[in-house]
Amino acid sequence: MEYSVLQGKGETGARLGRLSTAHGTVETPAFMPVGTLGPVKGIDPADLEQLGFRLMLNNAYHLYLRPGHKIVAEMGGLHRFTGWSGAILTDSGGFQIFSLAKLCKVTDEGVSFQSHLDGSTHFITPETAIEIEEALGADIMMAFDHCVALPAEREVVRDAVRRTTLWAERCQASRRRRDQALFGIVQGGLEADLRVASARDLVGLGFEGYAIGGLSVGESKAEMYAMLDVTVPELPASKPRYLMGVGMPEDLIEGAARGIDLFDCVVPSRHGRTGSLFTSFGRVVIKQARYVRDEQPIDPGCGCPVCARYSRAYLHHLFQVKEMLSSRLNTIHNLWYFADLMGQVRSAIAQGRLRSFREEFYRARDQAVSDDSVADAAEDDRRRPHTGWN
């Protein structure tokens, strides 16, 4: 993997970059769709390619449990197994172990837990995590980290930071394949000094890239952005920066403005399956009765194949009758929106107008909210952040 900065800091901390892998090149800032078990739910690899995505995320924890990393390796690795020709990043599974597994016990040696699927007992160490990810064969692997739920006592967070650094060292030492990049993950909860310390420790270990983990887990947006403000300046400008599990549209804009290069989240597909559709003016909740006779596309200004062909009335009908096509079409639309949004963000950065783009984004959404055209959107999603820019 190679990463190059094409355009550095301008009016904000934003930058344009290019991430080159054995399976293609990714222009950054970029959003990664999440294919937890291989595919993005209901979406074919060809769909992702046509939507413009060149990098997706698979989850090592889930693939370890089923079908098993050894089976994936026997089948030629994730690319051959899934039919996806683009680049793949695998999350080590640390977050899923702490959030999904039962009876999770953490020591410096590793984590013992019971599977959320069948209660079977497992023990994962940093060395095991690397073994799993190398078997899966992704272009980019994530180091095994200790992610704590928020809010958390300072001493709990401090211990997690210490353990994350310890495990990162062991991940580095246990690598056998050098054709896969390895990213370290910064932890530290909402403790600014611990975030800085974690970042400095990991930078000292010399990873190919750096992720910021443990955010978007219940804290406010202002708190999340504040942690980015103190963490990103500690990360090398020459290496890619990845904000893990964060993916509301405003978060992509705010993150990119602070120098984040990569994002991932289940938002486009999960919201699609529940009938919440992203548009240039906010969100359309397609299950609402107001759309039963609406002949308009989801977003008249959208160029996606769904908006080119289907009315809100038809999509409302599909959702109401629980037709499986509903989830597929809604997800395709949402993924198009996210791909297009990131393209607009890159263009705004290149033209030195990200500030004005940000203001236009909030103005359009705030106007839609005041017109009651996107009812049912969560207040937290609508609230404009009050933190500054770098």
**Which residues are part of the catalytic machinery?**
91, 264
Query: Cα(353)–Cα(76) distance, rounded to whole angstroms?
Result: 45
Cα dist from 280 to 109, 147, 362, whole Å:
48, 34, 10
* Strands lying side by side in the sheet with 24-28: 2-7, 16-21, 24-28
Looking at beta carbons, which pairs linking 300-309 to residues 24 or more positions away fall under 8 Å?
302/333, 302/336, 302/337, 302/340, 303/336, 303/340, 304/332, 304/333, 304/336, 304/337, 304/340, 305/332, 305/336, 306/330, 306/332, 306/333, 306/336, 307/333
Beta bridge partners of 16: 7
Q: What is the DSSP string of 286-306?
A: TTSGGGTT--S-S-TT--SHH
Query: Cα(92)–Cα(113) distance, rounded to whole angstroms?
Result: 15
- Residue pair 62/37 in contact (Cβ under 8 Å)? The answer is yes
Residue 175's identity, in one-letter code, is R
Query: Cα(144)–Cα(134) distance, rounded to whole angstroms?
Result: 13
Q: What are the φ and ψ backbone dihedral angles of 201, each rounded to 5 degrees?
A: -60, -45
Cα dist from 15 to 122, 199, 370, whole Å:
41, 20, 33
What would the two tokens of residue 129 be? 């995590």
Query: Cα(207)–Cα(324) distance, rounded to whole angstroms?
Result: 42
Beta bridge partners of 18: 4, 27
Considering just the CA atoms, what is the radius of gyration of the chain in Å? 21
CB atoms within 10 A of CB 244: 26
What would the two tokens of residue 182 be? 């390895």
